[in-house]
Structure 1
Amino acid sequence: MTISRIAVVGGGIIGTAVARELALREPEATVTVFEKESHLAAHQTGHNSGVVHAGLYYEPGSLKAQLCRRGVEMLVQYAAVNGIPYDECGKLVVAHTTLEVDRLEKIHERARANGVPHVALLDRHEMREIEPNVRGVLALHSPHTAIIDFVALTEAFGNDVLAAGGRIEYNSEVARLDTMGNEVRVALAMPGVESKMTQDAGSFDLVVTCAGLQADRLARASGLEAEPRIVPFSGDYFLIEQPAADVVKGLIYPVPDPAYPFLGVHLTRRIDGALMLGPNAFLSMGREKYTRGYSKGGFDLGDIGSTLGYKGFWKFAKDNVKAAAREARTAVSPKAFIAEAQRFVPDLDPLTVKPGPRGVRAQAMNADGSLVDDFVITTRGRLTQVRNAPSPGATSSMAIAEHIVDKALGSLR
């Protein structure tokens, strides 16, 4: 079957990786990326911590584990060839209690089963040889966990698409996709028009959507399933600049608590040398609102109404009262936020800490209130939609792209 016209919706790291993979697989086709902003990586990709995960936590043999390890291998090679800064600064997952020690030992077993290289458990003295200022009773060391600039990586993917003869259409918000027998028609939202008027952007032999924070809305507008729904959670970071940032050499994480849906505050070196504290996780007042605090610019009444009107959210909230209370402390109190980080690094000086960026996480949720922890990819004929691409989505982007393109092209056979 001849494919000459391909469209990808979304210019984040997953969308551009998919577009690049399609351009490589189908060199005779023209790949068009539709991005509603004026630049790539405008949302989740451009507001994360930049961590390249090694694959410590995922169920051995699971798709997430496989794609993470494959993704890291591809990313290392791609970054080296394309001159993208990549720093294997290493990571410590630090336990403070007997219960956390038990959990950490299980994570160690899982990491080894996943093929994560050179992971080791360190006692309190050994961990301080890696991070002199850290405190804990046991740590899992992952020396090959790394950091990268995911925006630069996304831009490199975009340049590959252009070099292959593709196009990137900025300021082009896709409102709806109509699946016909032999094509998919793309309808764009009319710029500056509040109504539901659209304009035709043409027909394509194959379309893949990677719409992130808007994935559920685009799916419903295109006649696909309502679930899973996206519920946005914001995450605030604090920053410590050089030279005070050298209080931490790499990454320091808490042991995940299965009773909580989110990890909690951790310490992360950035590729520019700054140290990030965070993020916390709290219900966002808008899917694409990155203003800290609760000023007018941080609200979207439509998004708030969508979340509060969703029965799945209320079931989730009922089951996670303790988690909400924990996250609320750090959301409203910088002192509490910093104190969480000081549990791991007591020498951290609060006077060196300043407010940093905010990210918004596209948390996919089911109607029963459960969080969707795996990839969700739906296909209808020539239309493939990525409904959920959770962490380690950025790390695994190149491997995820392979997987998505396999499914998309396979649907045409």
Structure 2
Amino acid sequence: MGRRRSTVLMNLQLNDPSLPGPGEMVTEGGSSGHSATSPQPISASPLLTGGDPHHNRAPSLGELHQELEAEQEAQVNRLLQMIRQQQLQLQQLQAAQGQSQTSVAAEDATPTSERSSSMVLPNVPTQPPFPAPSTSVPRSPVLSHPRSSFDMARDALHRRSRTPSRGAPSPRLRSTSISAESGEPLLSGVRDESAYYQAETQSLVRENQMLRHRIRELERQLGEAHAGASLTREPAHHSHLTQSTSVSEEDAAAGSSSAVPATAAASTNTAQPVAASEIIKDDNTTLLLERHPHTGTETSSRNSEVIHAGLYYGPGSLKTRLCIRGREALYSFCARYGVPHARVGKWVVAQDEAQVEALRGIHGTCSTELGVPTRWVSRSEARRLEPSVQALGGVLESPETGIVDSHALMTALLGQFEDGGGVLAVNSAVVGVEALGSTPGASGWRITVRDAATGSESSITASTIINSAGLAAADIHNMIAPPDKRLRLYYAKGNYFSYGSPAPKVRRLVYPVTAPGAGGLGTHLTLDLAGRMRFGPDVEWVESPTDLAVNAARLPAAVAEIKKYLPSVDARALTPDYAGIRPKLSPAGAVATGGGGFVDFYIRKEDGFEGWVNLLGIESPGLTSCLAIGEMVRDMLYGSGKVEGSAALGR
């Protein structure tokens, strides 16, 4: 009986005959030849509809890979339900023959649904195996079952702590067998059919792994092909990239505690607070705890997607040092791995003499102390290049500023993290942290996690802990710190507005001069990778980090600010787009000049504790700095020399 070929696989045309077991990728008797045609968009994909409308582009290889995995997981779900139905039939037949005491796979006491596979089965057999077409499909389905992503991640850590080799990828499903004590001929047909569906499941898993390997190779080749180009673009279609991995072999009861030689990173974002792929150490395993169903759904994906040059934060600050190092590393990473980006440049425009003086200070600092390229743009050149932009005082250009597809970046970083042996547990909110040992943390850290789907709690013991939880970082900090060291974050919401008119047309980013003491850089003009304009963010102080609805009442004020540098903007073409939250340690200024109490990143290996690295107030330029932050945290934990971080809190 031939297996149906994935429609996404036919679109991808990635069935490379050089890969192991190519026959598993096609229907029996089908062609396995390689096609040279480009991947085609999948318009009906639930992953490419709805959601955030502000990154529209054609699906990348990562998106197509994700779509394939979603389809395969739905197929796996269907097959596993068939297996369960076969098992129920077995049990009914056994009961009818007087064998009510015999269960399927009676060699142990594990429940049937848990023995069948590490992919969890729903408790109700009639639950539809496929999601509704209108919903987005996560890479790892969240089903109503106590078997949480955290439990599966913990089991993966157990296996890796017992196994020296971490090079080969772990299968998403463990191999299974279905057996019965009875040898009745009446049951043999049912067992054979169950074994077939079981083999189907394993074939899908192997196909998934091979396709992932193939796409990684294609991404590497694309990165090499574009290494010499300063611009990597894709046509405009929605990007909605999410990834997660759940690996499991044996079940662990909820509420139990497990000890493994691991680094635990509490995070709500992948790229913005810390590039977790930089932290992995060869003799250790890193567990990334994500409280949401997907990574990067907070500050990482709700920002201007700008690669900053490092103009604003003053010499000697962590923001400046990490932004400059991170910018260089990020451009290299994007070119190598084919992450869409563009070095479009930025103009900072002054409208009066006071603002010109502020630009002179930035230009002088960049030239003499930071080594960041900037240059003055003459009036005639400004009129020629951007006739719609108004700069009554002057224009300072930053040629190193760029833009990046943050979703594609996070997918690439997560792929590196997983390929390096890291384990992700989604829907895993940290609710308790206990430092073990006479010196806190000397004997490890017991971390309690609540599963978002079931409410059950589990715990794991790690040798080190990294608090990179973004908007929730203060909550994690307060679970560990003594009462006199506890703190709160201040939430600066930024509202963004999209622009639906073809005129005026601007080809680079345009920023106003930042007002002294402002909580942001000003309502600026940014571009997406298709060249469409959007404006924002403003600064709206809110009480809750979940207040992500765009405040349309702030549009008139935004229009007034935009018209100062783009007088011909059509206010009727501006519509609310999206909003993001910046976690701040104080309601202070965003830049190091002009007063207002500038507050730097807080990154520190905390005194009085063993193995705790704390990251607080990681806002802009956190996306630009992500790789450099990851390097810094790695060196703090594993470097041979002392790494100078932030001053202790309260000093």
**3-state secondary structure, aligned to 2:412:** helix
Cα distance in 1 for partners of 2:485, 2:451 equals 24
Distance change in 2, residues 1:43/1:259 (3 Å): closer
Counterpart for residue 234 of structure 1 = 493
Counterpart for residue 638 of structure 2 = 409
Cα distance in 1 for partners of 2:601, 2:452 equals 34
Counterpart for residue 116 of structure 2 = none
Does residue 345 of the first structure (1) align with residue 566 of the second (2)? yes
Code of the residue aligned with 2:491 in structure 1: it is P
Counterpart for residue 36 of structure 1 = 291
Query: Structure 2 unaligned runs (5+)?
Result: 1-163, 165-259, 437-441, 589-595, 643-651
CA contact under 8 A between 1:14 and 1:210: conserved in structure 2?
no
Cα distance in 2 for partners of 1:150, 1:126 equals 32
Distance change in 2, residues 1:408/1:128 (3 Å): farther
Counterpart for residue 140 of structure 1 = 396
Aligned match for 1:185, one of 425, 439, 446: 446
**Structure number, greater radius of gyration:** 2
Counterpart for residue 412 of structure 2 = 156
Cα distance in 2 for partners of 1:158, 1:49 equals 21
Does residue 356 of the first structure (1) align with residue 577 of the second (2)? yes
Cα distance in 2 for partners of 1:183, 1:228 equals 24
Cα distance in 1 for partners of 2:334, 2:458 equals 37
The C-alpha deviation readout for 1:200-242, integer Å capped at 9, x for no partner, is 3311111111011111111112235645420111110110147
CA deviation after TM superposition for structure 1 residue 256, in Å: 1.6
CA deviation after TM superposition for structure 1 residue 386, in Å: 0.9
Aligned match for 1:334, one of 530, 544, 555: 555
Code of the residue aligned with 1:256 in structure 2: it is T
Code of the residue aligned with 1:184 in structure 2: it is W
**3-state secondary structure, aligned to 2:565:** coil
Distance change in 2, residues 1:16/1:103 (3 Å): closer
Counterpart for residue 200 of structure 1 = 458
The C-alpha deviation readout for 1:127-182, integer Å capped at 9, x for no partner, is 23332211112010112210001222112111111111221101001112211122
Q: Under a length normalisation based on structure 2, what TM-score does the superposition of the two structures give?
A: 0.53
Distance change in 2, residues 1:159/1:349 (3 Å): same
Where relative contact order (Cα < 8 A, 6+ residues apart) is larger, the structure is: 1
Code of the residue aligned with 1:183 in structure 2: it is G
Counterpart for residue 502 of structure 2 = 243
Runs of 4+ in 1 over 6 A off after TM superposition: none
Cα distance in 2 for partners of 1:18, 1:185 equals 23
Does residue 372 of the first structure (1) align with residue 372 of the second (2)? no
Q: How does 1:164-313 map to 2 (within 5 A)?
A: 164-180=420-436, 181-191=442-452, 199-224=457-482, 226-241=485-500, 243-244=502-503, 247-293=505-551
CA deviation after TM superposition for structure 1 residue 278, in Å: 1.2
Cα distance in 1 for partners of 2:412, 2:612 equals 26
Counterpart for residue 314 of structure 1 = none
The C-alpha deviation readout for 1:371-406, integer Å capped at 9, x for no partner, is 633334342212222122232111011011111222
Cα distance in 2 for partners of 1:15, 1:87 equals 19
Q: Under a length normalisation based on structure 1, what TM-score does the superposition of the two structures give?
A: 0.82
CA deviation after TM superposition for structure 1 residue 98, in Å: 0.8
Cα distance in 2 for partners of 1:370, 1:226 equals 20
Distance change in 2, residues 1:366/1:278 (3 Å): closer
Counterpart for residue 384 of structure 1 = 613
Cα distance in 1 for partners of 2:316, 2:584 equals 23
**3-state secondary structure, aligned to 2:624:** coil
**3-state secondary structure, aligned to 1:129:** helix
Aligned match for 2:376, one of 112, 121, 124: 121
CA contact under 8 A between 1:233 and 1:283: conserved in structure 2?
yes
CA contact under 8 A between 2:306 and 2:624: conserved in structure 1?
yes
CA contact under 8 A between 2:268 and 2:470: conserved in structure 1?
no
Cα distance in 2 for partners of 1:242, 1:144 equals 28
Counterpart for residue 146 of structure 2 = none
Distance change in 2, residues 1:189/1:372 (3 Å): farther
The C-alpha deviation readout for 1:326-362, integer Å capped at 9, x for no partner, is xxxxx73422311210110111112221111011111
CA deviation after TM superposition for structure 1 residue 85, in Å: 0.8
Cα distance in 2 for partners of 1:371, 1:100 equals 19
Indicate the RMSD between aligned Cα atoms, in angstroms.
2.6
CA deviation after TM superposition for structure 1 residue 412, in Å: 11
Does residue 58 of the first structure (1) align with residue 313 of the second (2)? yes
Cα distance in 2 for partners of 1:190, 1:38 equals 10
Counterpart for residue 100 of structure 1 = 355
CA contact under 8 A between 1:7 and 1:208: conserved in structure 2?
yes
Cα distance in 2 for partners of 1:371, 1:122 equals 28
**3-state secondary structure, aligned to 1:234:** strand
Cα distance in 1 for partners of 2:521, 2:301 equals 20
The C-alpha deviation readout for 1:57-106, integer Å capped at 9, x for no partner, is 22124332221111111111100111001111110000001111111111
Does residue 130 of the first structure (1) align with residue 385 of the second (2)? yes
Aligned match for 1:4, one of 261, 274, 278: 261
Deviates most, 54-63 or 90-99:
54-63
Code of the residue aligned with 1:238 in structure 2: it is F
Cα distance in 2 for partners of 1:95, 1:18 equals 35
CA contact under 8 A between 2:291 and 2:426: conserved in structure 1?
yes
Cα distance in 2 for partners of 1:18, 1:145 equals 20
Code of the residue aligned with 2:614 in structure 1: it is Q
Code of the residue aligned with 1:374 in structure 2: it is F
CA contact under 8 A between 1:184 and 1:207: conserved in structure 2?
yes
Distance change in 2, residues 1:259/1:42 (3 Å): closer
Counterpart for residue 315 of structure 1 = none
Distance change in 2, residues 1:15/1:282 (3 Å): closer
CA contact under 8 A between 1:61 and 1:114: conserved in structure 2?
no
Cα distance in 1 for partners of 2:348, 2:335 equals 27
The C-alpha deviation readout for 1:90-129, integer Å capped at 9, x for no partner, is 1000000111111111111112231113x11123322233
